[in-house]
Structure 1
Amino acid sequence: MKGFGLLLRIIVAIILGIILGSFTPEWFIRLLATFNGLFGNFLSFIIPLIILGFIAPGIGTLGRGASKLLGLTGLIAYISTIIAGLFAYVVAKALYPTLLKGQAQTSLSDPTEKLVGPFIELEIPAVMDVMTALVLAFVIGLGIVATKGDILLNVMNELRSIVQLVIEKVIIPLLPIHILGIFANMTYAGQVSTILHVFAKVFVMIIILHLLYLIAQYSVAGTLSKENPFIMLKTMLPAYFTALGTQSSAATIPVTLERTKKLKVRERVADFTVPLLANIHLSGSTITLVSCSLAVPFIQGNSTSFGSFFAFILLLGVTMIAAPGVPGGAVMAAIGLLEIRLGFGPTMVSLMIALYMAQDSIGTACNVTGDGAITSIVNTINKKKKHEDFTEKVS
């Protein structure tokens, strides 16, 4: 129930932030702003290390597998993630002008204009910028695959362990305080009403998109396997509700695996694909990230071109493969892309984190439930391919 604990702390932080922003003096808001400034600078420092520490070993490890089943599973998972992102983009673009009508505030075009500043500012320069980290991660990851360099892969895996420890022991525990400070400052500046209205509407929309996408995934899986998609989806419900509680795809693997095998999937295929998909298939998280990353600029009166967002979604699909398997890991891995592809500033990133974390368990539930559909699709295609190979050999 660790995920629910984090969600509860975030909800309490938002409520407490609104209360403190309504009744406390400016010096206290400045104190919170000072913490937020330090935390935000540390976050900016660690982002390139997150990208390098997760993407490089992720590519290197996946590339080691020569199995055709690995390639097929990875390709379908990536395609599913991209389609999920495009689906969320199209729906959000169509609905936001009506759904969030009157919520856009030109006063938020400069998010720091009315917010209280910190007592002191301490710069923590990153060791490299985000784009450099992204390119370097790809170069190292592909280099590990090409050279089969065990030493470098081990170094990258150790870096990943260190970065994940920082996320689990520092960033995630301090995140509720950071969100509290953001909401206290926005309440003091008179901006929180708009944010809460947007949160509520986007939250409901994301849940509906998750359910629709799961139905679409199982419709494809059911059509290929000649099974009833709604019975398949019902079979996977225990995994869905387990993920709501654990807020972790990895922690839900035993339940996901047990339920997936009831979809008439071969045991060998399920044993291979389910643990793999728990780490590389994040369609629900992608729907959430795309929906939220469109909502935040919308309330600031900004717009983003389809070209910029399409590139963002393509890179996001790769980033999700390497996202750390901890609550909030997907949004942490995506922060760099939000900054370099969509131009998000510190306050926009903080809002994005708050909006994402408030429903992270629901996104995780969508991820793991979709793993069953992807496994069924892989099983059908792999079985058909083996039958064709056997037919060719006989003829």
Structure 2
Amino acid sequence: MKKIGLLPRLIIAIILGILFGMVLPEPGVRVFATFNGIFGEFLGFAIPLIILGFVAPGIGDLGKGAGRVLAVTAALAYTSTVFAGTMAYFANISILPLFITEGALSTDLTAEGASAAAFIEISIPAVMGVMTALILAFTIGIGIAATGSKTIKSLMDEFQTIISKMISGIIIPLLPLHIMGIFANLAYSGQVFQILSVFSRVFVLVIILHLTIIVLQYLIAGTLAGANPFKLVKTMLPAYFTAIGTQSSAATIPVTLAQTKKNGVNEGVADFAIPLSATIHLSGSTITLVSCSVAIMLIAGMPLSFGTYIGFIMALGVTMVAAPGVPGGAVMAAIGLLQSMLGFDATLTSLMIALYLAQDSFGTACNVTGDGAIAILVNKFSGHKLLPQTN
């Protein structure tokens, strides 16, 4: 029997959660609330470990490479990621309030009359705070890159493997059950259909923003390189659709690389820029994270300011480097920032994960398509001209 993918499992979980929340009595919904409380505590415990396990070796890896070309590629990828997030912020705060009632969601899952409470509560304190984990990860990662320490790098790589197994073996398999419980509680409290309405509208807006940033990236790259940007985009379409199917930038690298070379990028530049961009250029994922978080903050009635969000976006560009090689890796790496910088609680974090994962394939497709534009710019700044495009 073919294994059901994560996205279909999440959709099934949402449907079942709504049905259970509408038909089960309060004790039945409280069972879900109990599981959600325990799982939420475990997720909070795991967040600092995820940050440390992936950000530190990810930054350490940037110490390898070809000097100036590495710096140019990293700068272009980071600029593109931050620009995409900033564009998404202004688009969302301008459009979403037209369709979303601010403060419509009650996030207090223990308030009487709002939703069912857990039978028991178990506290699982994290070994360190989120900001402590971020600073420690930056310190270790920069230290590895600066000193070339093989021992610490090997230790962090092995720790990353352990954390990746925890994500793929525990968190991801239990996530549909957690989402089911969240939607059961939302249905029980009468808020679920408003959430689904928000989900559908955000989904459409995110896809439009993805397509917009791809066009902008290739307009800039094509103009500077002296090529037709729309022909460049057309050549990259196989990579876009492959990424939708794989949900992985890394798994799509062979296709992205082949299509980038067909666009006339120097072979050596493409061989370097595409694999690197697959881990550090995340414009599509940033658009999705910003859009989903703005929508959730609006319905939760939380304050939105550009000063807070620009810091969040700039931090995303770093923390998502070498995000876990599992579906939803970017949102897992961003959970710490969502909680520490935007003030998300366990309920909002769970909704964020569900909303993000529903669009993860399209964010990945946007990422890898944009990698081709980054390679064209690196090709230009390296002194190469685009070769004639090939079929």
In which range does the TM-score fall when normalised by the shorter chain? over 0.9
Q: Deviations over 1:108-150 (max 9, x none)?
A: 2645531211111111111101000001111111122232211
Give 1:189-338 correspondences, 5 Å limit. 189-338=189-338
Contact 1:281–1:320 (Cα < 8 Å) also in 2: no
Q: Deviations over 1:314-347 (max 9, x none)?
A: 1011112232122100000000000000000000
Alpha-carbon distance in 2 for matches of 1:225, 1:370: 15
The equivalent of 1:148 in structure 2 is 148
Contact 2:105–2:299 (Cα < 8 Å) also in 1: no
Query: What is the CA distance between 1:161 and its match in structure 2?
Result: 0.9
Task: Detail structure 1 runs of 4+ shifted over 6 Å in the superposition.
Answer: none
Identical aligned pairs, as a percentage? 60
Contact 1:112–1:347 (Cα < 8 Å) also in 2: no
Give me the CA root mean square deviation: 1.6
Contact 1:239–1:255 (Cα < 8 Å) also in 2: yes
How does the TM-score come out when normalised to structure 2? 0.95
Alpha-carbon distance in 1 for matches of 2:168, 2:128: 22
Query: What is the CA distance between 1:200 and its match in structure 2?
Result: 0.6
Q: Deviations over 1:212-254 (max 9, x none)?
A: 0100001011101111111111111111111111111111111
Amino acid in structure 2 at the alignment position of 1:41? E
Contact 1:111–1:348 (Cα < 8 Å) also in 2: no
Contact 1:21–1:185 (Cα < 8 Å) also in 2: yes
Query: What is the CA distance between 1:65 and its match in structure 2?
Result: 3.1
Change beyond 3 A, Cα 1:111–1:203: farther
Counterpart of 2:249 in 1: which secondary structure? coil
Greater Cα offset, 185-194 or 23-32: 23-32
Change beyond 3 A, Cα 1:232–1:252: same
Q: Deviations over 1:52-76 (max 9, x none)?
A: 1111111112123352111111111
The equivalent of 2:380 in structure 1 is 380
The equivalent of 1:108 in structure 2 is 106
Change beyond 3 A, Cα 1:375–1:246: same
Amino acid in structure 1 at the alignment position of 2:25? P
Q: Deviations over 1:155-211 (max 9, x none)?
A: 111111111111111111111111111001100011111101100101000000000
The equivalent of 1:18 in structure 2 is 18
Amino acid in structure 2 at the alignment position of 1:108? S
Contact 1:269–1:379 (Cα < 8 Å) also in 2: yes
Alpha-carbon distance in 2 for matches of 1:255, 1:65: 22
Alpha-carbon distance in 1 for matches of 2:105, 2:179: 20
Q: Deviations over 1:280-332 (max 9, x none)?
A: 11100000000111110101222222111111111011112232122100000
Alpha-carbon distance in 2 for matches of 1:3, 1:336: 30
Amino acid in structure 2 at the alignment position of 1:273? A
Amino acid in structure 2 at the alignment position of 1:219? L
Alpha-carbon distance in 2 for matches of 1:105, 1:74: 39
Query: What is the CA distance between 1:27 and its match in structure 2?
Result: 1.5
Alpha-carbon distance in 2 for matches of 1:177, 1:327: 16
Query: What is the CA distance between 1:279 and its match in structure 2?
Result: 1.1
Alpha-carbon distance in 2 for matches of 1:242, 1:106: 38
Alpha-carbon distance in 1 for matches of 2:358, 2:146: 41
Contact 1:109–1:301 (Cα < 8 Å) also in 2: no
**Runs of at least 5 residues in structure 1 that lack an aligned partner in the other structure:** 386-395
The equivalent of 1:35 in structure 2 is 35
Q: Deviations over 1:233-280 (max 9, x none)?
A: 111111111111111111111111111111100111111111111111
Alpha-carbon distance in 1 for matches of 2:77, 2:116: 44
Contact 2:323–2:329 (Cα < 8 Å) also in 1: yes
Alpha-carbon distance in 2 for matches of 1:238, 1:66: 28
Query: What is the CA distance between 1:36 and its match in structure 2?
Result: 1.0
Greater fraction helix = 1
Counterpart of 1:265 in 2: which secondary structure? coil
Alpha-carbon distance in 1 for matches of 2:358, 2:225: 36
**Runs of at least 5 residues in structure 2 that lack an aligned partner in the other structure:** 386-391
For these two proteins, the number of residue pairs brought into alignment is 382
Alpha-carbon distance in 1 for matches of 2:39, 2:240: 33
Query: What is the CA distance between 1:384 and its match in structure 2?
Result: 5.7
Change beyond 3 A, Cα 1:111–1:204: farther
Contact 1:109–1:302 (Cα < 8 Å) also in 2: no
Q: Say if 2:56 is the partner of 1:49.
A: no
The equivalent of 1:120 in structure 2 is 120
Counterpart of 2:31 in 1: which secondary structure? helix
Contact 1:4–1:245 (Cα < 8 Å) also in 2: no
The equivalent of 1:392 in structure 2 is none
